[in-house]
Homo-oligomer: A and B are copies of this chain.
């Protein structure tokens, strides 16, 4: 569908340009691109392939196709599944941390996200399919776990399935099974026991295996951007690699700040009320600016693939237009460094313009009401910058091979600099700057490219990029979006080092009315019904008596309401005056008193407690590791208060000098 914007295959309209010309008999590379079965729109409609009017017609139709794809996508999302927009990773992180967003992983979301993802990628917008594929995979995981009661009834088990699904999603998106498992571990999952690690591994194995059987890239390889470089890297090259890491970190910071500022503006101003118009406008601008530049006109993954490639002898790309030494007769895969030709200089200009355009447009694209991933645009930005740096270093080394830094490893006639490697390192650095991944990033990159020899450059760039980006702000793009949307997410990465105690955080504070509690054997049904009506707490601690306040358990609001309703309907003698007993054996009552209501079975006898002197550092640790929603605070068995996850989040925000009211469920 991406190629449909430019032309159509006469033998079968669903073929891409490349597939269409595969069957062609032309054998040289140039001819294959111009095979007769593939017709540009101008050729088909007005029988012209060159000239200004043909160009304008093609330009116009390119924009029209892009607009119709984007309009269809945004309409489908708005009408059928509003949750299908965005990358979905911030929400999945929140869901895996224990929060429930109903319908987020539903069947409609799955269906609509799959369809619209195809449309938006084809429309040429600056976005990728990889992040949304994680969401799609989690929808599948949720669907399958709803089929088995073992998983549908146990929230924890369901989350393990979702962790594995996220791994399988990345495995399929990039053809990177191990990278997928690590992505799920490092970026998506909240609680990732070893058991889940190895189940995710199995899911990713099956995903990779299925992918290989389908063989979508037609080359029997799992990897998306397969590269083969012919030279090792040299120690002196670490300097430009680290520079690329710095660039990646700066790009990550810039992108996150600008994107969040823009998304906040969208949330708070009228802009958010016209999502369709916004998508149409951005698509139109993208298409208008993208068409004239060959590096933005094509699909972004093709662009990345070309930038990663080493220039072999058979390469016809403009980026490989070097001036060859006519006397040279060498084996084809060991071409020495050569001076750049006219094509390379043109390409450099076009790449520079494409880079600026990508940087700006991606800020406005990510966060619109369509499925949109960040991996591919970030990688494209990094690959463009990296390739330009690489060509620069290569030409410097060629023209100045007597400089001290080049003298040791770059003699004349040697193949010492591989610009494609710089593109790969730049892509890793930019992706790292935006997402703050480290290990999973490096694994994904070398699974993507097959470039196992280049772990150290990739690691150096990833680490530098993370450092630089972290210096300007700790949050990656997903955490920033979680924060922007106010999801109750307790980040496992932040360290809590303040010396506050549980007593400083718990409710009620000094001067506030006392905690709403139930007593084990003195409240009537009516008392409890009033309490339920007047408050909206999720549950109530149960104490021995109002005086002693010794805690015996915790009763869920939902179960209390249900138990009272059932008792009033079915149990004769239970009236508003009946006394509710949470004790094991209610005492014998006088004959004329109303029938008592025994509720011990709904009482949670092991509520989680801490003492009021417990340091908040420990409390935060317990909340994180045990995934609690609330925790009771006691002193010598006396109930003093309660700490909820919200309280913990508010306190952490306060300690970090942020507005505590920004933490809320909205």
Contact = CB atoms under 8 A, between A and B. Distances in A.
A42 interface: no
A438 interface: yes
Nearest to A494: B195
A202 B463 contact: yes
A198 B439 contact: yes
A392 interface: no
Interface in A208-239: 208-209, 212-213, 220-223, 232, 235
A298 interface: no
Interface string A592-616: 0000000000000111011101110
Interface residues of A, number: 66
A42 B185 CA distance: 58
Contact of A606 (B201, B443, B613): B613
A490 B220 CA distance: 44
24 contacts: A178-B439, A185-B197, A193-B492, A195-B493, A197-B438, A201-B439, A201-B442, A208-B455, A208-B459, A209-B456, A209-B460, A212-B456, A213-B235, A220-B232, A222-B456, A502-B606, A551-B636, A552-B636, A605-B613, A606-B614, A606-B615, A606-B618, A609-B611, A621-B626
Contacts of A450: 452-453
A181 B198 CA distance: 16
Interface centre among A181, A186, A455, A493 (most CB of B within 10 A): A455
A611 to B, nearest CB: 5
A495 interface: yes
Interface in A166-202: 177-178, 181-182, 185-186, 193-195, 197-198, 201-202
A323 interface: no
Given A544-B636, A636-B544, A637-B634, A459 B205 contact: yes
B453 A201 contact: no
**10 residue pairs, one from A and one from B, having the closest CB atoms:** A637-B637, A605-B613, A606-B614, A625-B625, A205-B459, A550-B636, A606-B611, A198-B438, A201-B439, A220-B232
A638 interface: yes
A91 interface: no
Interface in A2-34: none
A8 to B, nearest CB: 34
A422 B466 CA distance: 39
